[in-house]
Structure 1
């Protein structure tokens, strides 16, 4: 695996997100109230809503445009909604967020 440092955990607010620009497009990095970190596509498949501006609750994010809810572990839409967002491996080392970049190589640029 090929990991790259994308910033400090504290750069992402609890129950919030930050947008990270990569060569493959924008990735949303989420931090839960339990201090867990997830990385996923920033665009909701429904209407391309900016998920980094959504509401983080538990291990899920709600799209700010039409309230679609996505599991940050799997990317699957929850409830009656059908769809999926891409999720990317992350790990924490010494307070830094590392993103596994080979997973991005299969993604086309946004």
Structure 2
């Protein structure tokens, strides 16, 4: 069974904006699109470490504020000529709340 953690009210995240959640694996940027979809991705851009949560959200993509790399929020894949990817995390909304999959947000010890 998947353990989801409640991180915020949907209304706490501005439309076409983001909030940052601190986790065991580092910071995660949680985005809300204009049509209230939510996505969670790695906080830093792989190019120069730009804070993706401060980027411009357009559709289901975000543009890094430092060097304009564009990432698909669903897949984490860089768009256009840029080559790279950020990690994505399962997120959903329910009853006006935003939830993240806790199993992806914990450090895994070596077996």
TM above 0.5, one fold? Answer: yes
Q: What is the Cα deviation at residue 104 of structure 1?
A: 2.1
The aligned residue for residue 63 of structure 2 is 62
The aligned residue for residue 24 of structure 2 is 23
Q: What are structure 1's unaligned runs of at least 5 residues?
A: none
The aligned residue for residue 72 of structure 1 is 73
Secondary structure of 2:62 counterpart = strand
Report how many residues are paired.
107
Matches of 2:15 and 2:93 in 1, distance apart? 15
Q: What's the C-alpha RMSD, in Å, of the aligned pairs? A: 1.1
Q: What are structure 2's unaligned runs of at least 5 residues?
A: none
Matches of 1:54 and 1:81 in 2, distance apart? 16
Kept in 1: contact 2:9–2:96 (CA 8 A): yes
